[in-house]
Chain A
Amino acid sequence: MELKVNGRIHSVAAAPDTPLLYVLREDLQLNAAKYGCGLGQCGACTVMVDGEAVLSCVVPILLLQGKEIMTVEGLGSIDKPGPMQRAFIEEQAAQCGYCIPGMMMRAQALLQKNPQTSDAEIRRQLEQNLCRCGTHMRILRAVRRAAQLMQTPETAVDTGRST
């Protein structure tokens, strides 16, 4: 079946009941989304589907026909990081880094819907993504910084969504 990831259409040979995470990492070599618990309980595998944060380890690809999937790779590149990536770099928000792609994608989904969202809402949304290093305060700062960057014209780059 065909999957649209970061604006590109991929033809995928995997069985329809394969979780999206496996296809991203093994078939498409998009390794940003991480395998944490495999049960949809830690958030490390979070990606965006049609602009909403989704746990890719429990979502079979048969549910994703015709939908737009976005991973951290779609937010920008090493040479040209997107505002969310820039903010995490500038705040040095990663310790071991395993949870960060999930945090970034959930925060991206939130800020795309409402760039002026409140701190309380950021905390509420990110609550379900676990970080075992205890980097929470830096992550929160990074998300707030990303919210500012997204409202600055020169840094509010194209996020890869072709709606």
Chain B
Amino acid sequence: MSFASRFARITVGVIVTLAVVSALFFAFAWHSSIDPVEPPTASAFDHAVVLRGAQLAALGECVTCHTAADGRVFAGGRAIPTPFGTIYSTNITPDPLTGIGQWSLAAFERAMRAGVDRKGRDLYPAFPYDHFTLLRDEDVKSLYAYLMTRQPVRVPAHPNELDFPLNFRPLLAGWKLLFFRQGRYRQDRSHDETWNRGAYLAEGLAHCGACHTPRNLLGAEKKDQHFGGGESENWHAYAINSASQSPVPWEANTLQFYLRNGWHALHGVARGPMTPVVENMAGVPETDVQAMAAYVISLMGQPTPERVRHAEGLATRKVAPPVAAQPDNVGATLYTAACAVCHESGRPLPFGGIDLALSIGVSGEDPTNLLHVVLEGLPAAGEAPMPIMPGFAHTLSDPQLLALLTYLRSRFAAKPLWSDTETAIRHAQEAERRR
């Protein structure tokens, strides 16, 4: 056989193989369009079902991502930063042209369970269908009833800002093949009803793991580090499993209080992307909050006797014990001058400053949130009594911040400084200058 004909046969072979592979891929990646429907009228839904849907939507935090800053509720357009570019949330009001008004229940259910929109396009997992897939049928129906009875708003979707090839949606079929499994929540008979309710909500609709579980390079949650601490919108989401670094171990009742109020005297304040979670929680039945707290606590497991003893000491003291003045230590001087007046006032939350030995910000696995709070403070949030703190942006230099964090970490957590503190400081200061 001549070289030319052998070359031709190999070329044809390669082309045929490629064609077959891509045909298979597209067959797999292709989803049918679901026919548009007339937007259902409000009378099509039972009022009790709509109300139930409202509570579920609060649990699922739908409004948080699907509402832009200063935008109309559920009309989308909020920029969601990801390591792969910016994704803009879509309009989920029942507007027929720009929202989901023409979506049948089947189309809505497919989006929730399979991450495919009405027209058959794969959805980016910034929409947490990997969690929503666990939902029970009746909960999907209630959510549909709630959303379809909202005010329709005509706001076209903002195009995503993703680099090639990530802007090519069929690739998502590959992502799903690797990381996504469809399936409803299955009761765990070794646990009671409350635990199962909590697991169903926390793993499903409330999608806690979307932030609190670390993600791999392709943006999928690492199942083997479930709730092991993740990242969200440049804030750290602390570990809420057995790796929790909370100085006082969480208990079901303290976690329930924290989720309900956004702060706890032995733990501190929920801020960053946790703020809207708590705001939404106000619309959720107490029994559901209690169930989620019970479930998360069970994953944290029993704290060691040593941790418990340490925590008892912290919980009963009124204020951090005095330490000798350290005039040569910049961090100590800064703490005494700027922080101690509130943080050693002995006045408990929500009005006084927390004893920093109780703060996960100081003891936790990552310095990001502590930097946010030191620089931006805790602005007044909402109308409920909440701790507030002035920010120290524009006054602390990088070395001063480093000295302060070093001091806080060693005095209040008795731990060495985080390995990447200097980088975290640089990033936080740069972000502050852009604000």
A contact set with B: CB distance below 8 Å:
16-17, 39-41, 49-50, 52-55, 58-60, 62-64, 120, 128
Contact = CB atoms under 8 A, between A and B. Distances in A.
Contacts of B342: 39
A53 B389 CA distance: 16
Contacts of B336: 17
A91 B338 CA distance: 37
A59 B333 contact: no
Contact of B395 (A16, A17, A54, A128): A54
B337 A62 contact: yes
Contact of A40 (B333, B389, B394): B389
Nearest to B400: A63
Given A40-B390, A50-B394, A54-B395, A16 B377 contact: no
13 contacts: A16-B337, A17-B333, A41-B390, A52-B394, A53-B394, A54-B394, A60-B338, A62-B334, A63-B334, A63-B338, A63-B400, A120-B70, A128-B380
B243 interface: no
B396 interface: yes
A132 to B, nearest CB: 15
A59 B338 contact: yes
Contact of A63 (B70, B380, B389, B396): B396
Nearest to A57: B390
A63 B337 CA distance: 10
Interface string B38-76: 000000000000000000000000000000001000000
A126 B407 CA distance: 33
Interface string B380-415: 100000001110111110001000000000000000
Contacts of A53: 394
Contacts of B337: 16-17, 60, 62
Nearest to A51: B394
A44 B212 CA distance: 39
Interface residues of B, number: 19
A40 B343 CA distance: 14
B156 interface: no
A45 to B, nearest CB: 10
Nearest to B379: A128
A128 B388 CA distance: 11
B395 A64 contact: yes
A62 B395 contact: no
Contacts of A58: 338, 390, 392
Nearest to A20: B395
Contacts of B334: 60, 62-63
Closest 9 CB pairs of A and B: A40-B390, A17-B337, A52-B394, A60-B337, A63-B395, A58-B390, A55-B390, A59-B395, A60-B338
A49 B394 contact: yes
Given A16-B333, A59-B338, A59-B395, A39 B70 contact: no
Interface string B323-364: 000000000011011100010000000000000000000000
A120 B69 CA distance: 11
A59 B379 CA distance: 17
A47 to B, nearest CB: 11
A62 B333 contact: yes
Contacts of A39: 342, 390
Nearest to B388: A41
Contacts of B379: 128
Interface string B414-427: 00000000000000
Contacts of B390: 39-41, 55, 58
Most buried by A among B342, B390, B393: B390
Contacts of B400: 63
Contacts of B338: 58-60, 63
Most buried by A among B333, B337, B396: B337
Contacts of B333: 16-17, 62
Given A59-B338, A60-B338, A63-B400, 5 more contacts: A40-B377, A41-B388, A49-B394, A54-B394, A128-B380
